[in-house]
């Protein structure tokens, strides 16, 4: 292996999936050294950007909840069928944990451990860093890369009730105007307390409070180097990892607090911030894509997705006389995962099925997922391995 030029070796290794890349460390000392090379990591993620997204899946089950898998999509050129092979990843020596999000290949894990709660795991090197604990555990989290400092940051937003006086005082700190829609009651107000940790720092910083309550989200929404959440009042708020400031992002006009279209989730589709809503009139999922970031007029309704029941659920519905399957499979059980290069959309139904939706033919296809080392079907949560191609990957 030592006769292969380094440039060629880098090109070969950059085309491997994460599990194979980790295994390549055992080939020889030179390749082991290359797996820690910054140039290799940059080339590998450039390959990911040019191809369809990769997936990290966590198996949910009493006896196997500590297992993580790398999902590799493939399609048959003859019949067009899409399959996913899930290869088992080596995990850090933790007790029960939950996969929170990912950024540039690093995984943010929430662990149940007496000494720490959060850790960042690098599946390339199998190294992990334990993060300092906070005194509370409820709320939403975000994980991203700050390009100005070349550091990763973790944001945690928890909730508490306060008085109107304290509420108004805290709003000034974030520069929010009182005209913004807030969530108030006659006796108390709910505000979000924001903490941030720069990875490598020994302590969290308290950024104060924010007059909105954010909705919990399953997947990372990191666009334009900003984290994004939706609030319970249907606003879209961004958090700039460099300036550490919140700002409202314009939403599609059809998504308002009084609209029949229920705001379902925020997602990333080929690098664009996208909003998924449920149209109560025609019972369809609508996907709105912001073609130009932060420009209100650039929102475009790009997809309408009708009702579908994956095969794994169909046996449960056959005993029901009602033909309205939407009642038995509510839209909040459906998650939009990603947009593929061929224009198709990957959807996850109730953590039990991954479905390919052909946006041109408006057809659905259940994707067969084969888990390496597991003979039967288990519930899985899929996370798109997020990446901003303009960022620089650094070791955790």
| Cβ atoms < 10 Å from Cβ of 4 | 13
pLDDT above 90 (res 203): yes
Percentage above 70 pLDDT, the chain: 69
Q: Is 273 helix (H, G, I), strand (E, B) or coil?
A: strand
Angle subtended by helix axes 38-50 and 6-14, to nearest 10: 40
Domains of the chain by start residue, with CATH: 1-50 (1.20.1280), 51-160+189-315+327-381 (2.120.10.80)
Helix (H, G, I), strand (E, B) or coil at 3: coil
Q: Is the pLDDT of residue 104 over 70?
A: yes
Which of 351, 368, 269, 311 has its CA nearest to residue 71? 368
Q: Give CA–CA dist 299/297, Å, rounded.
A: 6
Whether residue 191 is predicted with pLDDT greater than 90 in this model: the reply is: no
Mean pLDDT of 266-286: 85
Q: Which two tokens stand for residue 209?
A: 């409070």
pLDDT higher than threshold 60 for residue 172:
no
- Which whole number is the average pLDDT over 67-76? 76
Of 225, 216, 337, 327, nearest to 276 (Cα)?
Answer: 337
The stretch 106-118 carries a mean pLDDT of 77
Residue 33 has pLDDT above 60, yes or no: yes
Task: Tell me which range, 125-129, 131-135, 203-207, is most confidently predicted by mean pLDDT.
Answer: 203-207
- Across the range 48-58, mean pLDDT stands at 72
The pLDDT of residue 396 is above 70 = no
| Average pLDDT score, the chain | 76
Neighbouring residues of 62: CB distance < 8 A, sequence distance ≥ 6: none
Task: Work out the average pLDDT over 17-43.
Answer: 71
The pLDDT of residue 64 is 59
User: Which position has the higher pLDDT, 166 or 80?
Assistant: 80
* The token pair that represents 246 in the structure block: 């919140």
- Residue-level pLDDT at 246: 95
Q: What is the pLDDT of residue 290?
A: 97
- Strand-pairing partners, residue 249, are 236
Average pLDDT over residues 320-331: 47
Question: Residue 357 has what pLDDT?
Answer: 94
* Alpha-carbon gap, residue 84 to 73, rounded angstroms: 5
Asked whether the predicted pLDDT for residue 341 surpasses 90, the reply is: no
Confidence of residue 94 (pLDDT cuts 50, 70, 90): confident
| pLDDT at res. 242 | 95
Q: Which residue has the higher pLDDT, 137 or 245?
A: 245
Most distant CA pair in the chain, distance: 75
Contact 160, 171 (CB under 8 A): no
Q: Which phi-psi region, left, alpha or beta, contains residue 63 (left: φ > 0; alpha: ψ -120 to 50)?
A: alpha
Q: Can you give the pLDDT at residue 206?
A: 94
* CA–CA separation, 198 and 328 (whole Å): 43
pLDDT digits (tens, 9 = 90+) for 218-262: 777 999 999 999 988 889 999 999 999 999 999 998 877 556 677
**What's the rounded Cα separation, in Å, for the pair 356 and 77?**
15
The answer on pLDDT for 136 being more than 60 is yes
CB 17 within 8 A of CB 72: yes
- As a whole number of angstroms, the distance between CA 292 and CA 78 comes to 37
């Amino acid at each position: 292996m030592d006769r292969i030029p380094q440039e060629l070796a880098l090109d070969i290794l950059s085309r491997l999936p994460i599990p194979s890349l980790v295994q390549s460390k055992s080939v020889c000392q030179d390749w082991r050294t290359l797996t820690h090379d910054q140039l290799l990591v940059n080339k590998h993620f450039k390959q990911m950007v040019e191809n369809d997204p990769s997936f990290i899946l966590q198996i949910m089950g009493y006896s196997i909840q500590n297992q993580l898998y790398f999902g590799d999509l493939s399609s048959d050129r003859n019949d067009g069928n899409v399959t996913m092979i899930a290869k088992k990843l080596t995990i850090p020596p933790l007790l029960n944990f939950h996969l929170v999000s990912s950024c540039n290949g690093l995984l943010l894990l929430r662990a149940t451990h007496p000494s720490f709660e959060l850790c960042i795991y690098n599946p390339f090197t199998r190294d992990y860093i334990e993060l300092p604990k906070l005194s509370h555990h409820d709320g939403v989290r975000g994980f991203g890369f700050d390009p100005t400092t070349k550091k990763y940051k973790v944001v945690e937003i928890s909730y508490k009730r306060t008085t109107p006086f304290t509420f108004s005082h805290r709003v000034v700190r974030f520069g929010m105007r009182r005209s913004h829609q807030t969530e108030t009651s006659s006796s108390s107000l709910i505000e979000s307390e924001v903490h941030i940790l720069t990875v490598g720092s020994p302590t969290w910083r308290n950024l104060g409070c924010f007059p909105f309550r954010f909705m919990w989200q399953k997947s990372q929404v990191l666009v334009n180097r900003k984290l994004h959440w939706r609030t319970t009042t249907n606003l879209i708020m961004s958090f700039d990892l460099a300036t550490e400031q919140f700002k409202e992002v314009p939403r599609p006009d059809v998504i308002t607090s009084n609209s029949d279209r229920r705001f379902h989730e925020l997602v990333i589709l080929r690098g664009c911030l996208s909003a998924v809503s449920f149209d109560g009139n025609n019972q369809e999922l609508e996907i709105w894509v912001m073609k130009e970031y932060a420009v209100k007029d650039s929102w475009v309704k790009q997809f309408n997705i009708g009702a579908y029941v994956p095969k794994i659920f169909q046996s449960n519905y056959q005993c029901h006389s009602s033909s309205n399957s939407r009642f038995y499979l509510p839209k909040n059980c459906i998650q939009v995962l990603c947009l593929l290069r061929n224009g198709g959309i990957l959807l996850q139904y109730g953590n039990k099925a991954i479905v390919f939706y052909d946006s041109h033919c408006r057809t659905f296809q259940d994707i067969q997922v084969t888990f390496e080392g597991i003979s039967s079907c288990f519930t899985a949560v899929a996370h798109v391995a997020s990446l901003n191609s303009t960022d620089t990957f650094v070791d955790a």
